[in-house]
Structure 1
């Protein structure tokens, strides 16, 4: 090849801290689609119920939450049916959990693949977020079925907020938070494997501080000394607003949405910085 002839592709170390090469990701878009299809199709392959697990998990979780928190613990959800209240929170929480848990294993779960062939590593966690969105849409569809049931057959006094158009921002915030924090954890687990164990039960603990199964107002009423932990949680603010947008509420915390949006963007940028730095040397430590 002549010296002045241009290469078709050139692989070189990233020179910037935040380097999201969209042009290169677009070039590998077929691989991204392939990863998304793999995540959707193979997760429940060779299982008895298959994709029905997408529906069973949020429904059973909502039933248990309704029994434990609303029946036994007497958590008040106002005019909103407790089951519908819990299903709304669980649906969005499951999407965040999917984004965080799957992207946090990017390097350890794909070490063999990364060591054999080059492609933009960011495609892997990005594919997890996209495939998780597919599962979220299915669960949201089930939520609307129960929503219509409670409205037309149970005469529930609920209606979507006039600010329902903000709903995609709530979903985007959860995706960015899960992706950003997941990439940071994925980078750390290349050196500290026990973080994988911490992530698994840490997510479950975080759910109780994220107002998934109770309103923030109830937490403030029952434990005013510790409610600040929940109010300072951007996940709790996003889930609360998301639920109020779907089920209707006079109180909409737009300041919480702004703060959670800023935190989501910052976490993504920090995740990219750590991810890009670890990408260069992780194969020596995994």
Structure 2
């Protein structure tokens, strides 16, 4: 009996021809699965909690309050003329998108090893679902920021006018998403073999937050340190976000261009290592 040729099958599973290859057609074909993963991440996580999705709002508020007491009231760190609540809330809002995306994608292989061993689908769907789910959370928290922003503006405590750099706002989200996913899939690929690296995750994210203008403006950093911190890509994203909405902060076209290039490099390396690990992952767990 003559074997069926390749074109007789509805779906043909083939090995990737290149480690850099991303099968966008397969990702689009499995878009319903992507939606299901997003729904699972956004809804079911808080389904059995008392406050439910309200936690999306409570978390940045509590963090902002903590920063206000510790860094503004006690440490007396400058907020560059911006109302302290707005200053910390703006940093927390944009930073949370990266940190949550990074943390969730960094557990891709660990939390999905059972399903990866049983069902075929493009593995990149899982980290992509974390990026999209994180974006939904960001929109909710950004809405909180806008409400607080309008309160300060309507009460005359904020006289800043929105500026023309607002058109770059989607770029900032894209940069945070790219860094979160790229670093996350790189990290999950490394921890698939070297599990002890997971202990560094929380420490690394916290350390990066403290040197990324979340709790102190770039202008308050001693000049001797500014030269080094300038190469921290997250500073350009967070400072640009504040500049767009609050009129105060570092805005550098060169800094944003450098950040964009670095994000693309991190994402490319992440995809390369992820694709390589995917092929042998089930043999190492």
The TM-score bracket by the shorter chain reads over 0.9
Per-residue CA deviations over 1:234-274 (Å, capped at 9, x if unaligned) read 01111111111111138521111111111111111111100
The match for 1:244 is: 243
- Partners in 1 of 2:18 and 2:172 — Cα distance? 30
Pair 1:56 & 2:58 matched:
yes
Pair 1:175 & 2:177 matched:
yes
Q: Do 2:181 and 2:267's aligned partners in 1 also have CA atoms closer than 8 Å?
A: yes
Deviation at 1:60, TM superposition (A): 1.1
| Candidates 200, 205, 208, aligned match of 1:206 | 208
Per-residue CA deviations over 1:116-155 (Å, capped at 9, x if unaligned) read 1000000000000000000000000000000000011143
SS in 2 for 1:156: coil
- Partners in 2 of 1:3 and 1:137 — Cα distance? 49
The match for 2:277 is: 278
Q: Do 2:99 and 2:205's aligned partners in 1 also have CA atoms closer than 8 Å?
A: yes
SS in 1 for 2:273: helix
- Partners in 2 of 1:240 and 1:21 — Cα distance? 35
Per-residue CA deviations over 1:80-101 (Å, capped at 9, x if unaligned) read 2111011011001000001100
Gaps of 5+ in 1: none
RMSD (Å) for aligned C-alpha atoms:
1.4
The match for 2:224 is: 225
TM-score of the superposed pair, with normalisation by structure 1:
0.95
- Partners in 2 of 1:120 and 1:266 — Cα distance? 22
Q: Do 2:189 and 2:273's aligned partners in 1 also have CA atoms closer than 8 Å?
A: yes
SS in 1 for 2:164: coil
SS in 2 for 1:8: coil
The 1:155/1:29 distance shift into structure 2, 3 A limit, reads: same
Deviation at 1:198, TM superposition (A): 0.8
The match for 1:188 is: 190
Deviation at 1:67, TM superposition (A): 1.8
Pair 1:84 & 2:86 matched:
yes
Gaps of 5+ in 2: none
- Partners in 2 of 1:67 and 1:181 — Cα distance? 32
Q: Do 1:161 and 1:247's aligned partners in 2 also have CA atoms closer than 8 Å?
A: no
- Partners in 2 of 1:146 and 1:54 — Cα distance? 15
- Partners in 2 of 1:226 and 1:259 — Cα distance? 19
Number of paired residues? 283
Q: Do 2:242 and 2:249's aligned partners in 1 also have CA atoms closer than 8 Å?
A: no
Deviation at 1:63, TM superposition (A): 1.4
Q: Do 2:105 and 2:127's aligned partners in 1 also have CA atoms closer than 8 Å?
A: yes
Deviation at 1:52, TM superposition (A): 1.0
Q: Do 1:212 and 1:239's aligned partners in 2 also have CA atoms closer than 8 Å?
A: yes
Q: Do 2:239 and 2:250's aligned partners in 1 also have CA atoms closer than 8 Å?
A: no
The match for 1:160 is: 162
Q: Do 1:80 and 1:157's aligned partners in 2 also have CA atoms closer than 8 Å?
A: no
- Partners in 1 of 2:187 and 2:11 — Cα distance? 30
TM-score of the superposed pair, with normalisation by structure 2:
0.95
